[in-house]
Amino acid sequence: MFSDGLAFIAADEQETIDIAAGVRGLDEQLKHHKRLDAARQDFVLGNVKARLRMVAQYAIANARGGLVIGIDHAAEAVMGFFTKFGAGAGAGDLAPLAGLVKGQVRALGAHLGAPRAYEATRHKRDLPLVPCP
C-alpha cells in the first residue's frame, strides 16, 4: 500500500534509511533497565522508532538543504496523539494539515486524486521497513 501512495505523490526521489540497527541497539540497552517490564518496554520501543524516523528525516533534509513536512491533522495536534520529538505535533518544519480535521483531510485527498484505500487507513505505530527487533 505504501508503494501506491508513493506513486500517487509522484516524488522525484525516494530515500530509504534502515533504522532497525539503531532500534535494536537501544532495545538491548533498555533491556538492562530493571524498571521496564515487557509491556512498558514495548511502548518505549515504539516511541524510540518514531524518534529515530524523525532523526533520519531531519538528517536527509539537513544534508540536502530541505524541509521536513509534518503530517498531523488537527485532532492529533489538539488531543496530543503523537510521540514527543517523533513524527507528531510540532514535528516538521511545515504542517500543512494541522488546521484540518480528518474529514477535511479525506476530502482534500479525494480532490487531489488520492487512492480511496487511504480514506480508511488507521495510524500504525510500526512502518513496514522498521521491523521489531
Mean pLDDT, all residues of the chain: 75
pLDDT for the residue numbered 103: 87
Q: What is the Cα 1 distance to its own chain's centre?
A: 15
Residue 12 or residue 52, greater confidence: 52
Q: Which CATH number covers residue 100?
A: 3.40.50.620
Percentage of the residues of the chain whose pLDDT score is greater than 70: 68
Residue 66 lies in a domain: yes
**How does residue 6 score in pLDDT terms, banded at 50, 70 and 90?**
low
Predicted confidence at residue 60, as pLDDT, reads 92
In sequence order, what are the residues at sequence separation of 6 or more whose Cβ sits closer than 8 angstroms to the Cβ of residue 69?
92, 93, 94, 95, 96
Query: Per the domain annotation, does 127 fall within a domain?
Result: no
Is there a domain that residue 73 lies in?
A: yes
- In degrees, rounded to 5, the angle at the alpha carbon of residue 1 between the alpha carbons of residues 103 and 120 is 25
Residue at 28 is within a domain: yes
Residue 119 has a pLDDT of: 57
Nearest to 19 by CA among 87, 100, 74: 87
pLDDT tens digits for 58-79? 899 999 999 888 777 766 666 5
Q: Which residue has the cell 487531489?
A: 112
- Residue ranges making up the domain that contains 78: 2-6+19-120
User: Is residue 133 a part of any domain in this protein?
Assistant: no
**Domain membership flag for residue 126:** no
Residue 132 inside a domain? The answer is no
Residue 37 forms part of a structural domain = yes
Give the chain's domain count: 1
pLDDT tens digit sequence for 78-97: 655 566 666 555 667 888 88
Residue 129 banded pLDDT, cuts 50, 70, 90: very low
